[in-house]
Structure 1
Amino acid sequence: MSLTVGIAAITGKFARELTSFLLKNPAITIKGYCRDPSKVPESFFSKVSIVKGDAFDTSAIRSFVSGCDVVVCCYLGDAKLMVNGQTTLIDACAAEGVPRYVASDWSIDYTKLELGQLFPKDPMIRVKAYLDAQDKVKGVHVLVGMFMDMAFSQAFQVYDPASSTLKYWGTGDEIWEATTYRNAAEFTAAVVADKDAVGVKKLVGGRATFKEISGAFERAYGEKPKLERQGSADDLFKRMHELRQSNPQNIFSYLFLFFQYYMINGQTLLGPNLDNHKYPQVKPVSWEDYLKSTPKDQLPGAPGRAGQNV
């Protein structure tokens, strides 16, 4: 059975990964939406129809979603884009009779958070509430934990490549759930192709404690990393709020500390009951799988390479 999939912000790195998987399915036709068609990868040119427009061009958006069976939003930006941009897309889907909308989530389980706790996820909470109130469009929310590619980047403040040190808060026995960009895209492609898939889908590549991740690092690279405990979960909570209050404009000094806190306190865990078994065609990429497939010197820059090889 044929399926027409609309991908908003098709030039983004996650959208590129997703498109590459969807194109492997001969029953799927893809429509893309973006501001600058010149940024669409050459490999997509003959296979994807492109509509040009921005996130608030209602006329272009209506044209884009028209005829789609499902629309996937791959927006990434400020709160205005993530909330108002998505509600504009959702309204267009309702007007054009698009039955399913895949929200721009790919996240830890923000459904367990209160507004204001993990502030970057507030837009997702608002968009989910908006979709839940719809009667014409069914929301789909693909939750994957954190992006594994981000874990060892400089921004996440966990890995020091110069000294091969892994830094953590808490006890080191807390579960870290994560999925690579590419594995998350493969899971999402399976969900998109499943016309019955609606609501929250919990699809995770790897679940391991920080100490277990350290062991995987040693097996992958033949080098035992140094482990550096930075404090308790309560210490982390205090530190992240101190940094935010003292210099709120320097968001990257505290942003990922907030993510770490709500991961290690267990509030946003997806497992152990996941939906992976519903899509057996997708092989989960574990922490150890990821490390063994990624040269050690490429770990810090891994996020920047996502979507570049399509």
Structure 2
Amino acid sequence: MTITVGLAGITGKFGHLLAKHLLRNEDVLLRGYSRNAGKVSPEISSSPRVKLFEGDAFDEAKIAPFVEGCDVVICSYLGDNKLMVDGQKKLIDACEVSNVPRYIASDWAVDYTKLQLGELFPKDPMKHVKAYLETKNTVKGVHILIGCFMDTVFSPFLGLVDVQNNTFKYWGDGTELWESTSYNNAAEFTAKVAIDSSAVGIKKYLGDSKTVKEIAAYYEKVYDIKPTLQHLGSLDELKTRMHALRAEKPAEVLSYMPFYFVYYWLNGSTAVGPNTDNGYYKDVKQETWEDYMRNRTMQQLPGVNVNFGSA
């Protein structure tokens, strides 16, 4: 039996990976929504099971035919608060009108449900969207939590790994767990969730959960280079620093936002594990920290584009 999956943000890095995994299931008919369908890669757009729709994230007239007839709609947007809240609300409203039974929100994050609004402020839109979905009668929300992306940990964004100088930097005492999942592994799990009509609510998946010292040991094992471990300070010192930077120059969001991510990721308040839904889809193999490095050269590690989404 075929299942029609709508994917908003199909041109983004994560959207592209997700589309590839979805199309590996021959029962999937895929609809893609983006501002520019010409940016969809030929390996996706050439499939006879793919139908592309163009439109703005806020264009109700264009969104309506995109979601019509879908069994599930996935949003892989990443952008400012207006896009992440109001843009998703447009999709959700259209799903409700068209009787789409499930909506997979653009989450893929630490467990933000455990936080109060304003604590990890970049994730506030997710809390608003989750609350909005709970007001709907027909469309049910699906929220996939994966910790922090491994790809992002190795990127310059968080400032934790310097591959060029073989240095792992860390806050805390080094025993904190780095709960993470690769882009690709998260896309695999999401593709399974999309075709599973029983999957609703909070779903938790992790590639691996290890301390910085364990991850550094894998780095040495895989690349035969012993990295340096650089202690940056305690978690309390990190908290003080991030609040000070925000108070000093609130408009310079990128100067302090990474510290907020790291603090709430490491302090245990947003832990996804240890109990996850990994075992529910037996054919999806977890990509561990060691697997992640074995599947990539050192030169590939810091090359991730942090902006994995697209409208």
- Which range, TM-score by smaller chain? over 0.9
Counting only pairs closer than 5 Å after superposition, residues 119-138 of structure 1 correspond to structure 2 as 119-138=121-140
Q: Which amino acid aligns with 2:15?
A: A
Q: Distance in 2 between matches of 1:260 and 1:199?
A: 26
Alpha-carbon shift at residue 302 of structure 1 (Å): 2.9
Identical-pair percentage: 52
Q: 1:211 to 1:261 in 2, by over 3 A?
A: same
Q: Deviations over 1:198-242 (max 9, x none)?
A: 001001111111111111111111111111111100000001111
Alpha-carbon shift at residue 39 of structure 1 (Å): 0.3
SS at match of 1:254: helix
Counting only pairs closer than 5 Å after superposition, residues 290-309 of structure 1 correspond to structure 2 as 290-303=292-305
Q: Which residue is equivalent to 1:141? A: 143
Q: 1:305 to 1:223 in 2, by over 3 A?
A: farther
Match of 2:73 among 71, 74, 77: 71
SS at match of 1:300: helix
Alpha-carbon shift at residue 304 of structure 1 (Å): 6.7
Q: 1:306 to 1:288 in 2, by over 3 A?
A: farther
Q: Which residue is equivalent to 2:21? A: 21
Q: 1:306 to 1:249 in 2, by over 3 A?
A: closer
SS at match of 1:280: coil
Q: Which residue is equivalent to 2:96? A: 94
Q: Distance in 1 between matches of 2:133 and 2:12?
A: 23
SS at match of 2:168: strand
Q: Which residue is equivalent to 2:60? A: 58
Q: Distance in 2 between matches of 1:304 and 1:64?
A: 27
Q: Which residue is equivalent to 1:109? A: 111
CA contact (8 A) 2:157 2:306 kept: no
Higher relative contact order (CA 8 A, sep 6+): 2
Matching of residue 3 in structure 1 with residue 18 in structure 2: no
Q: Which amino acid aligns with 2:163?
A: P
CA contact (8 A) 2:12 2:308 kept: no
Q: Distance in 2 between matches of 1:125 and 1:109?
A: 10
Corresponding residue pairs, total: 307
Q: Distance in 2 between matches of 1:181 and 1:305?
A: 12
SS at match of 1:224: coil
Q: Distance in 2 between matches of 1:251 and 1:221?
A: 35
CA contact (8 A) 1:216 1:288 kept: yes
CA contact (8 A) 2:161 2:167 kept: yes
TM-score by length of 1: 0.96
Q: Which amino acid aligns with 2:252?
A: N
Q: Which residue is equivalent to 2:38? A: 38
CA contact (8 A) 1:147 1:180 kept: yes
Counting only pairs closer than 5 Å after superposition, residues 143-222 of structure 1 correspond to structure 2 as 143-222=145-224
CA contact (8 A) 1:35 1:53 kept: yes
Q: Distance in 2 between matches of 1:204 and 1:276?
A: 7
Q: Which amino acid aligns with 2:36?
A: D
Alpha-carbon shift at residue 249 of structure 1 (Å): 2.5
Q: Which residue is equivalent to 1:12? A: 12
Q: Deviations over 1:228-278 (max 9, x none)?
A: 111100000001111111122222221111111001110001100000000
Q: Which residue is equivalent to 1:257? A: 259
Q: Which amino acid aligns with 1:300?
A: P
- RMSD over aligned Cα, in angstroms? 1.4
Runs (4 or more) in structure 1 with deviation over 4 Å come to: 304-307
Q: Deviations over 1:76-111 (max 9, x none)?
A: 100000000001100000000100000000001001
Q: Which residue is equivalent to 1:271? A: 273
Q: Deviations over 1:3-56 (max 9, x none)?
A: 000000111110100000110111110111111111011112232101110111
Q: Which amino acid aligns with 1:177?
A: E
Alpha-carbon shift at residue 301 of structure 1 (Å): 1.1
Show structure 2 runs of 5+ residues with no match: none
CA contact (8 A) 1:182 1:306 kept: no
Q: Distance in 1 between matches of 2:252 and 2:167?
A: 24
Deviation larger for 297-306 or 273-282:
297-306
Q: Distance in 2 between matches of 1:250 and 1:158?
A: 20
Q: Deviations over 1:116-149 (max 9, x none)?
A: 0000000000000111221111000111111100
